[in-house]
Amino acid sequence: MKIALIKGDGIGVDVAEAALAVLEAALDKTGQPLPVYDEIQAGAGYFAETGRDIEADGEDRAGAADAIFLGAIGLPSIRHADGTEISPHLRLRDRFGLYAGVRPVKAYPNAPQRLADPRAAGIDLIILRESTEGLFYSAAAHKRSLVVSDNEVMDILRITRETTIKLHEFAFSLARKRRERGLSGRLTCVDKANVFTSMAFFRQLFDEVKQAHPDMPVGYNYVDAMALDLVRKPWEFDVLVMENMFGDILSDLAGGLVGGMGMAACGEIGDTTGLFQPAHGSAPDIMGQDKANPLAAILSGALMLDYLAEKLDRPVLADAADLINDAVMAGFEDNALRPMEFGGDMGTRAVTNELLARVASQEPARKTLSA
């Protein structure tokens, strides 16, 4: 398998290297060949040096790979003339139609839990964020903001039937898979349908897709009420599907409930490819200092293996993903993962080395046959 690798800026370099080391250990343990990497230069640092935010042929090469892995992109001090940050990954979402932004939110033992209620230890949900349209439509490939005058700017929010139907179908499929694993599988449509025509359309399309899944439990929540409920009772939710900007905000809120953005894995999936990255920023102030929490990137690597298992019809790759996920869970249960982000004593290398040792010592579950 071929992976397009964009390490990017700041701690993106550190966490990408950690994630790939653990991914390779899991592949080796399950007897699988290691990926072939096509490293692509992109990001704010590259823009400062060359005036381009990605190599001239970088987008084509990314699309030719089986998946894309990205560390982090952006540096606050390097911006376009209009004040926005360098963000070629938004253009990759747009070009390759990566409409399904999967953001897992899971509580781990001995990791910070911001809610006092003991039920918070059971938080295990997914925020499914449409990643190509919504309000981010204005910020992607074509800078679709309308400068009306020196006193006014308008951004465009776009919801299309084609993309939203695909998103909702993905949502029902994801919820069904989770129900088959023993989770509730309850799918909640999050919108602001009481105010905006665009959001009423989003809910209408959800209801159209729902007709094909009469056995699946569903619910509805306005986004402001959803923000409240993520603090009041997040353990009652399983899969939440929503517009782009709503997902951007609520996924960070939910990430804070289970420790912070250092645990925020992300997969952005389209019809033909997927991009996987930690959802945190580039944190250039700690780059190269062995302080970054690599777990979001490592868990994103596991998401990528699950995706590739299905895409390439190689089920054993899912066993490798399980090795990573199980090592992270067991590491927290044993209080052997103590990232500095959480006030612990373990930097990037120590966390990575702990997981490498755990992956090496585990036996794969072998729920699938070797491909």
pLDDT value of residue 145: 59
pLDDT category at 85 given cuts 50, 70, 90 is confident
pLDDT at 140 over 60: no
Both tokens assigned to 88: 């070629």
Q: Which domains does the chain have, with CATH numbers?
A: 1-97+271-371 (3.40.718.10), 113-257 (3.40.718.10)
Q: Kindly report whether the global pTM for this prediction surpasses the value 0.75.
A: yes
pLDDT category at 81 given cuts 50, 70, 90 is confident
pLDDT at 159 over 60: yes
Mean pLDDT of the chain: 93
- Measured distance CA(369)–CA(371) in Å, rounded: 6
pLDDT value of residue 143: 59
Task: Over range 91-111, report the average pLDDT.
Answer: 95
Residues of the chain with pLDDT > 90: what percent? Answer: 87
Alpha helical stretches, state H, the chain: 12-29, 44-50, 58-64, 88-96, 161-180, 197-210, 223-232, 244-257, 295-311, 316-333, 348-361
pLDDT, tens digit (0-9, with 9 covering 90-100), for 209-258:
999 999 999 999 999 999 999 999 999 999 999 999 999 999 999 999 99
More confident: 143 or 112 = 112
pLDDT at 368 over 60: no
Angle at 275 between CA 254 and CA 270, to 5 degrees: 95
